[in-house]
Amino acid sequence: MKLKTVIALTVNIAVTATVQRAVAQPQVVSIVLSGANQTNTVQVASFQYAKILTATDADTGARYGSFGAYSSWGQLNLGSIPFLIPHNPAGDPSGNNGNIYNPVGSLAGVAIAGPASISVTTGSNPARNGPVLVTVEVLPCAYAVTNSVTLGPGQGAAINLEASTDLVNWSPTTNGVYTAQAAMFFRLHLQRLQ
């Protein structure tokens, strides 16, 4: 093998190992948005999960009034599920001295597994007067040893795909393409053979 090829191969291996190590490290991402109609998104890969550390909307102009007044509230979307961002880290109360608040709990600690996206959006009200702050920690997913079987020479295992509609009753099924009319769940049933 030529020296140039060996050097190039060594560099490629080193770069790949560095990228894989970097992906496995926890990352903290902070999103700060101000003004109306602003959006920023964090992508969570299939081998990661994300946890919300903080989520606060410092806008003071639209906390009171009817639901229409909440058009300036910040919104956090975990995938396709929207959450209003509270105006204080502990969450907002549902009422105070006759003023109507939108009851919003703290989002700290809420987690989502990848692949997913986390989007932060400010409301559409041009009179917004404070920023939205969301801090997300992106972590590698733990490898679940219980979902695997390792076989040594001469050992065997039965590996079966099972399906359920209620997470209680499981039945054998085959690998393939499914179109669910209702919720369906799948699991691998691993059994070591002696």
Q: Is residue 18 part of a domain?
A: no
Q: Is pLDDT above 50 for 19?
A: no
pLDDT average, residue stretch 92-103 = 58
Q: Are residues 84 and 39 in the same domain?
A: yes
Q: Are residues 133 and 177 in the same domain?
A: no
Q: Are residues 91 and 173 in the same domain?
A: no
The count of C-alpha atoms lying within 13 angstroms of the C-alpha of 178, restricted to the half-sphere facing its C-beta, is 14
Q: Are residues 106 and 149 in the same domain?
A: no
Q: Is residue 16 part of a domain?
A: no
Q: Is pLDDT above 80 for 80?
A: yes
Of the pLDDT bands very low, low, confident and very high (cuts 50, 70, 90), residue 9 is very low
pLDDT at 117: 92
pLDDT at 95: 54
Q: Are residues 109 and 33 in the same domain?
A: yes
pLDDT in tens, 101-155: 566 778 888 888 888 899 999 888 777 788 899 999 998 876 666 666 777 788 8
Q: Are residues 70 and 116 in the same domain?
A: yes
Last-in-domain residue among 98, 115, 140:
140
Lowest model confidence (mean pLDDT) among 8-12, 27-31, 137-141: 8-12
Q: Is residue 12 part of a domain?
A: no
Domain count, the chain: 2
What CATH code is carried by the domain that includes residue 64? 2.60.120.340
Of the pLDDT bands very low, low, confident and very high (cuts 50, 70, 90), residue 79 is confident
Full domain range(s) for residue 45: 25-140
Per DSSP, the three-state class of 147 is helix
Q: Which region, left, alpha or beta, applies to residue 18 given φ > 0 means left and ψ of -120 to 50 means alpha?
A: alpha
